[in-house]
Amino acid sequence: MEIEKVYPIHPEDEPLQVLPTLILRGLVIFPGMMLQFDVGRKKSVLALGKSMEENQLIFLVAQRDLTEEDPSAEDLYTMGVVARIRQVVRRTDDGIRLFAEGLYRAKICTIKEEKPFVLAEVEKIEPKKRQPTPNTEALIRYTQSLFDNYIQNYTHVPPDIVLGVVQQKDCGELADYIAMNISLDFDKKQEILEELHPYRRLQRLSVMLKAELEILSIEARISEKAKDQIDENQRDYYLREQMKAIADELGEDDNPLEEADQLRERIEKSGMPQEQQEKLLKECDRLAKMPDGSHESSVITTYVETCLSLPWGKSSKDRIDLQKARRILDRDHYGLNKVKDRIVESLAVKKLNPDIKGQILCLVGPPGVGKTSIAHSVAEALGRKYVRVSLGGVRDESDIRGHRRTYIGAMPGRIINAIKQAGTNNPVILLDEIDKLGNDYRGDPSSALLEVLDSAQNNTFVDHYIDMPFDLSKVFFITTANDANNIPDPLYDRMDVITLGSYTHEEKFNIATKYLIPKQLKNSGISTKNLRISATCTREIIDGYTREAGVRSLERQISTICRKSAVQIVKEPETVIRVTPKNLEEYLGPRKFRNESQNKKDMIGLVNGLAWTSVGGEMLPIEVAVMDGTGKIELTGSLGDVMKESARTAISCIRTRADKLGISKDFYSKYDIHIHAPEGAVPKDGPSAGAAMATAITSALTNIPIRHDVAMTGEITLLGRILPIGGLREKTMAAYRAGIKTVLIPSENVCDLAEVDSVVKDSVEFLPMEKIDQVLDAALTKKPEKVVQS
Active site residues: 688, 731
- Find the binder of ligand ADP among 107, 201, 333, 731 (CB under 6 A): 333
Q: Are 119 and 113 in contact (CB under 8 A)?
A: yes
Using the minimum distance from each CB to ligand ADP, give the nearer residue, 546 or 695. 546
Of 521-529, 545-553, 593-601, 782-790, which part binds ligand ADP (CB under 6 A)? 545-553
What are the percentages of helix, strand and coil residues in the chain, rounded to 5? 45, 20, 35
Q: Are 94 and 71 in contact (CB under 8 A)?
A: no
428 binding ligand ADP? (CB under 6 A): no
Minimal CB distance residue for ligand ADP: 370
429 binding ligand ADP? (CB under 6 A): no
Using the minimum distance from each CB to ligand ADP, give the nearer residue, 217 or 337. 337
- Find the binder of ligand ADP among 143, 206, 277, 372 (CB under 6 A): 372
- Residue 780 pairs in a beta bridge with 706
Q: Are 398 and 444 in contact (CB under 8 A)?
A: no
Is the Cα dihedral 719, 721, 724, 727 positive or negative? positive
Cα dihedral 295, 301, 305, 307, rounded to 10, equals 90
Using the minimum distance from each CB to ligand ADP, give the nearer residue, 420 or 505. 505
The single-letter code of the amino acid at 730 is E
Using the minimum distance from each CB to ligand ADP, give the nearer residue, 340 or 401. 340
Q: How far is the CB of 618 from ligand ADP (least distance, A)?
A: 18
Q: Is 443 annotated as a binding residue?
A: no
Q: Is 95 annotated as a binding residue?
A: no
Q: Are 227 and 233 in contact (CB under 8 A)?
A: no
Q: Are 429 and 385 in contact (CB under 8 A)?
A: no
CB neighbours of residue 379 within 10 Å: 22
Using the minimum distance from each CB to ligand ADP, give the nearer residue, 371 or 731. 371
Return the residues of window 285-324 that contact ligand ADP according to CB under 6 A: none
What whole-number distance in Å separates Cα of residue 706 and Cα of residue 305?
72
- Find the binder of ligand ADP among 102, 367, 609, 686 (CB under 6 A): 367
Using the minimum distance from each CB to ligand ADP, give the nearer residue, 174 or 512. 512
Of 333-341, 351-359, 562-570, 632-640, which part binds ligand ADP (CB under 6 A)? 333-341
Using the minimum distance from each CB to ligand ADP, give the nearer residue, 534 or 553. 553
- Find the binder of ligand ADP among 515, 668, 736, 766 (CB under 6 A): 515
508 binding ligand ADP? (CB under 6 A): no
- Find the binder of ligand ADP among 80, 172, 256, 370 (CB under 6 A): 370
Stated as kind and residue range, the H or E segment containing 265 is: helix 256-269
509 binding ligand ADP? (CB under 6 A): no
Q: Is 368 annotated as a binding residue?
A: yes
What whole-number distance in Å separates Cα of residue 401 and Cα of residue 461?
9
Using the minimum distance from each CB to ligand ADP, give the nearer residue, 311 or 550. 550
- Estimate the crossing angle of helix 134-153 against helix 159-167, to 10 degrees: 170
Using the minimum distance from each CB to ligand ADP, give the nearer residue, 410 or 484. 484
- Find the binder of ligand ADP among 30, 117, 334, 612 (CB under 6 A): 334
CB neighbours of residue 130 within 10 Å: 12
Q: How far is the CB of 352 from ligand ADP (least distance, A)?
A: 28
What whole-number distance in Å separates Cα of residue 469 and Cα of residue 472?
9
Nearest to 478 by CA among 595, 365, 607: 365
Return the residues of window 693-712 that contact ligand ADP according to CB under 6 A: none
722 binding ligand ADP? (CB under 6 A): no
Return the residues of window 444-503 that contact ligand ADP according to CB under 6 A: 480
Using the minimum distance from each CB to ligand ADP, give the nearer residue, 17 or 377. 377
Q: Is 370 annotated as a binding residue?
A: yes
Is the Cα dihedral 244, 245, 248, 250 positive or negative? negative
What whole-number distance in Å separates Cα of residue 499 and Cα of residue 777?
35
Q: Is 365 annotated as a binding residue?
A: yes
What whole-number distance in Å separates Cα of residue 745 and Cα of residue 747?
6
Q: How far is the CB of 328 from ligand ADP (least distance, A)?
A: 13
Q: How far is the CB of 372 from ligand ADP (least distance, A)?
A: 3
Q: How far is the CB of 519 from ligand ADP (least distance, A)?
A: 7
Q: How far is the CB of 345 from ligand ADP (least distance, A)?
A: 19
In whole angstroms, what separates CA 394 from the centre of its chain? 15
Using the minimum distance from each CB to ligand ADP, give the nearer residue, 51 or 372. 372
Q: Is 367 annotated as a binding residue?
A: yes
328 binding ligand ADP? (CB under 6 A): no
373 binding ligand ADP? (CB under 6 A): yes
- Find the binder of ligand ADP among 336, 387, 466, 577 (CB under 6 A): 336
**Coil, helix or strand for 697?**
helix
Of 150-158, 307-315, 332-340, 602-610, which part binds ligand ADP (CB under 6 A)? 332-340
Q: How far is the CB of 521 from ligand ADP (least distance, A)?
A: 14
The single-letter code of the amino acid at 112 is K
Q: How many CA atoms lie within 13 A of 311 on its CB side?
A: 19
Distances (CA, A) of 403 to 85, 267, 272, 305, 458: 87, 23, 22, 17, 19
What whole-number distance in Å separates Cα of residue 332 and Cα of residue 377?
7
Q: How far is the CB of 518 from ligand ADP (least distance, A)?
A: 10
Q: How far is the CB of 503 from ligand ADP (least distance, A)?
A: 7
For 659-672, letters b (16+ CB in 10 Å) and e give: eebbbeeebbeebe
Pairing of strands 531-533, 606-613: unpaired
Of 328-336, 628-636, 667-675, 772-780, which part binds ligand ADP (CB under 6 A)? 328-336
Q: Is 354 annotated as a binding residue?
A: no
- Find the binder of ligand ADP among 22, 103, 437, 511 (CB under 6 A): 511
What whole-number distance in Å separates Cα of residue 624 and Cα of residue 705?
12
Q: Is 682 annotated as a binding residue?
A: no
Q: How far is the CB of 538 from ligand ADP (least distance, A)?
A: 14
Of 144-152, 365-373, 465-473, 604-612, which part binds ligand ADP (CB under 6 A)? 365-373
Of 334-342, 524-532, 613-621, 713-721, which part binds ligand ADP (CB under 6 A)? 334-342
Q: How far is the CB of 432 from ligand ADP (least distance, A)?
A: 7
Write each residue from 250 to 269 as x if it is in contact with ligand ADP (CB under 6 A), else as -, in one continuous string.
--------------------
Using the minimum distance from each CB to ligand ADP, give the nearer residue, 333 or 384. 333
The residues, any chain, with a CB within 8 Å of residue 330's CB and separated by 6 or more, are 340
Of 248-256, 370-378, 617-625, 649-657, which part binds ligand ADP (CB under 6 A)? 370-378
Question: How many chain residues interact with ligand ADP (CB under 6 A)?
Answer: 19
- Find the binder of ligand ADP among 48, 180, 551, 692 (CB under 6 A): 551
532 binding ligand ADP? (CB under 6 A): no
Q: Are 749 and 727 in contact (CB under 8 A)?
A: no
What whole-number distance in Å separates Cα of residue 324 and Cα of residue 330?
10
Cα dihedral 101, 102, 107, 113, rounded to 10, equals 10
Burial of 266 (0-12, 13-18, 19+ CB in 10 A): middle
Nearest to 470 by CA among 307, 640, 650, 284: 307
**Region class of 574: left (phi > 0), else alpha (psi between -120 and 50), else beta:** alpha
Site for ligand ADP, rule CB under 6 A: 333-336, 365, 367-373, 480, 511, 515, 550-552, 555
**Binding annotation:** 365-372
**Binding annotation for ATP:** 365-372
